[in-house]
Amino acid sequence: MKRLILTRHAKSSWDDPTTPDHDRPLNDRGRAAAADLGQWLASRGYVPGQVLCSDSRRTRKTWDAAAPALPGTPILDLKPALYHAGPDVMLAVLHHATADAVMLIGHNPGIAEFAARLVAHPPLHGEFARYPTGATLVVDFAVSDWPEVGFGKGAVIDFTVPREFVA
């Protein structure tokens, strides 16, 4: 069994329009939501052993804010290929994961399409198709190795958005 925790980065700041997209930080709401995400994951036992993270500032800061609530020290792998990646690239990166439970932090529009294509049956949630900032899907795969994961094979365990983070 393999578990994927698929998270879109938390809300980023647009305060400085000259900041390159890759370097945009989280805003106050995003930092709070990312910290709440860590609490939500910990309260449900969704703890990654490895984090595959886009190398953008907002994805890294999402992880930095969520991580203190989680037990252990997951391996953090910054993956430049995940910056604005599409579903095929995300799947290729995931195929190289090494832990049984992996968190992947990325960007829309790719992450929404990736989530939709991964699962056999989407969750009955009004925000799933939009996959807003901070949205998180927990999906299990009945496989022994990550390269066996493919589109349409995931079983949804949980899905949430920041306004629902209640530990």
Mean pLDDT of 98-105: 98
Q: At what angle do helices 28-44 and 57-66 cross, to 10 degrees?
A: 50
Domain assignment of residue 92, given as a range: 2-13+23-100+110-164
Does residue 105 form part of some domain? no
- pLDDT band, very low/low/confident/very high, at 73 (cuts 50, 70, 90): confident
Give the domain CATH number at 153: 3.40.50.1240
Cα–Cα distance measured from residue 106 to residue 100, given in angstroms and rounded to the nearest whole number:
19
**pLDDT exceeds 70 at position 98:** yes
Mean pLDDT of 87-112: 97
**pLDDT exceeds 70 at position 40:** yes
In total, how many domains does the chain have? 1
Helix, strand, or coil (residue 95): coil
pLDDT at residue 17, rounded to an integer: 87
Cα–Cα distance measured from residue 57 to residue 160, given in angstroms and rounded to the nearest whole number:
23
pLDDT digits (tens, 9 = 90+) for 102-152: 999 999 999 999 999 999 999 999 999 999 999 999 999 999 999 999 999
Cβ contact 126:160 at 8 Å: no
Helix, strand, or coil (residue 77): strand
Does residue 95 form part of some domain? yes
Does residue 18 form part of some domain? no
pLDDT at residue 15, rounded to an integer: 87
pTM for this prediction:
0.96
Give the C-alpha distances (Å, rounded to integers) separating 44 from 28, 47, 53, 70, 167.
25, 8, 21, 11, 8
